[in-house]
Amino acid sequence: MTESLKWTKSSYSGGGGQCVEWAPAHASTTGTVPVRDSKRLTGPVLMLSTDAFAGLVTLARTADV
């Protein structure tokens, strides 16, 4: 399933290889947001509800790195 998704790198990903990708088209049609590590294209995918994903984005915006 994840092979056919169109992945987008998060604008909140930091430098140094810390990149997160998500599949917005899948999220808008199913209400489930797939999230993965951009370095592990065939690795595990975290499936989040839209509310959980919104919480993750809020955390990323406010995290002190």
Structural domains counted in the chain: 1
With a CB cutoff of 8 Å and minimum separation 6, the contacts of 47 are 32, 33, 34, 35
Distances (CA, A) of 60 to 12, 24, 64: 7, 17, 9
Span 8-61, pLDDT tens digits: 887 656 666 668 899 999 999 999 999 999 888 888 999 999 999 999 889 878
Query: What is the predicted pLDDT for the residue at 14?
Result: 62
The pTM is what? 0.76
* pLDDT recorded at residue 35: 94
Domain holding 29, by residue range, is 2-62
